[in-house]
Amino acid sequence: MAAFQGEQRRRELAERRRFPLEQRLREHIVGQEGAITTVGAAVRRRENGWYDEEHPLVFLFLGSSGIGKTELAKQTARYLHKDVKKGFIRLDMSEFQEKHEVAKFIGSPPGYVGHEEGGQLTKKLKECPNAVVLFDEVDKAHPDVLTVMLQLFDEGRLTDGKGKTIECKDAIFIMTCNAGSDEIARYALQLRQEALEMNKNRLAENLNDIQTEEITISKQFKENVIRPILKAHFRRDEFLGRINEIVYFLPFCRSELSLLVLQELNSWAKKAKQRHDITLIWDRDVMDVLTDGYNVHYGARSIKHEVDRRVVNQLAAAYEQDLLPRGCTLRIAVDDKGNGADEDGLKRAPRLRLEIVEQGSEGRRLDIMEPLSKEDTTFS
């Protein structure tokens, strides 16, 4: 038995050398090199026995919504556990905003309603004590829930409502938090703007040492701006002291946004082919127009919504109006007629159009009817 376990361990180590965690994360997450490197290094220490066995590994992920915090936690669990359903535990902390909801967390004590059911966390940790546990939006949790979490992080064990102790020193705990996300976004955008100006000057002076779009959060910003925000929010130094790594997620740069747009368009092209036998292609400037729809507060979700609003809505309308013959090639292009100004004199974003690509022709524009307005549907 021992020989089998030793051989299995050797095979796992060889597999991880061939496909390190960082490689897996980069396949699923756009950008966030700093976060990927930090998490990969910490997990490697733990997996190879170079860690404090008395305490679990604890991360705090900071940054705006929709930039990969949850996905990084999920892919880490997928890397470490064959059964990801057991190995990844996700708790939405907005469900634990009231004092009495501590019982939902660890289970009700004897004599109370729900005693036999157990807590949402304790029940799952019993099944997989070395799971990756995600506490999503921990800034919304009640202070009494944070007290339970402090015991969990400090001692690596948790006592449930029945009085039973669950050992979970081998678990990895990840908290996501939106506190300070606006400050991080502003600071990162400022650094990128400064790097852009510097590169322009270097190009003008014919210098070759052009900087990449990668930026680094300074220690002064972490200590002078972010730490006071976290202390004011969590109100206890010992809670912050039990966090092994505070990981910063930054807004996307232009090249990363282009990659997100490409992924989204490729996804819809695949669906169009599978569901309707339609080949979907697009011009290069379409990607630039969609990239301009990025909202720093909503991250990758804003790109997804922009593609839905400006491309998929037209596809669905054209399909409903029977304008898309099966087996056709459909091109997305920028409509020059969509330029100009709106009623307030502001520059209007270019419109996108759909064209049927026929052999030997430039493309036939689809005449998609607009949905009826409220006035059109009002009967006298």
Q: How far apart are CA 201 and CA 211, in angstroms?
A: 11
> What does the pLDDT read at residue 199?
67
Residue 377 is predicted with a pLDDT of 45
Q: Give residue 196's pLDDT.
A: 77
Phi, psi of 38 (to 5 degrees): -65, -50
- What is the C-alpha radius of gyration for the chain, rounded to an integer number of angstroms? 26
What is the three-state SS of the chain? CHHHHHHHHHHHHHHHHHCCHHHHHHHHCCCCHHHHHHHHHHHHHHHCCCCCCCCCEEEEEECCCCCCHHHHHHHHHHHHCCCHHHHEEEEEHHHCCCHHHHHHHHCCCCCCCCCCCCCHHHHHHHHCCCCEEEEECHHHCCHHHHHHHHHHHHHCEEECCCCCEEECCCCEEEEEECCCHHHHHHHHHHHHHHHHHHHHHHHHCCCCCCCCCCCCCCHHHHHHHHHHHHHHHHCCHHHHHCCCEEEECCCCCHHHHHHHHHHHHHHHHHHHHHHHCCEEEECHHHHHHHHCCCCCCCCHHHHHHHHHHHHHHHHHHHHHCCCCCCCCEEEEEEEHHHCCECCCCCECCCEEEEEEECCCCCCEECCCCCCCCCCCCCCC
**Cα–Cα distance measured from residue 325 to residue 181, given in angstroms and rounded to the nearest whole number:** 47
Domains of the chain: 8-251 (3.40.50.300), 254-365 (1.10.8.60)
Q: What is the pLDDT along the chain (380 residues), one digit of tens a residue?
A: 666 656 666 776 666 677 788 888 898 988 888 899 999 999 988 887 777 778 889 999 999 888 899 999 999 999 988 888 889 999 998 888 888 778 777 765 554 545 555 578 888 888 888 899 999 999 888 888 888 888 888 888 887 767 778 888 889 999 999 888 889 989 988 888 887 777 666 666 655 554 555 678 889 999 999 999 999 888 878 888 899 999 999 988 888 999 999 999 999 999 999 999 989 999 999 999 999 988 888 888 999 999 999 999 999 999 888 888 888 889 999 886 555 555 555 566 788 888 888 765 566 787 787 765 555 545 43
Q: What percent of the chain has pLDDT over 70?
A: 81
Inter-CA distances, 100 with 96, 123, 363, Å: 8, 18, 64
Q: What is the pLDDT of residues 119-153, one digit of tens each?
A: 788 888 888 888 999 999 998 888 888 888 888 88
Angstrom CA distances, 254 to 14, 184, 249, 287, 291, stand at 37, 17, 16, 11, 8
- Residue 132 CB-half CA count within 13 A: 25
pLDDT tens digit sequence for 163-179: 778 888 889 999 999 88
Distance CA 340, CA 356 (A): 26
C-alpha span between 338 and 48 (Å, rounded): 58
- The bridge status of strand 329-335 relative to strand 351-357 is antiparallel
Token representation of residue 188: 């990162």
What is residue 112's predicted lDDT score, i.e. its pLDDT? 52
What pLDDT was estimated at residue 210? Answer: 45
Q: What pLDDT, on a 0 to 100 scale, did the predictor assign at position 18?
A: 72
User: CA-CA distance, 147 to 307, in Å (whole number)?
Assistant: 43
Backbone torsions φ then ψ of 225, nearest 5 degrees: -110, -55
pTM of the predicted protein model:
0.82
For the chain, how long is the longest CA-to-CA vector? 85
CA dihedral 114, 120, 122, 123 (to 10 degrees): 80
pLDDT value, residue 162: 72
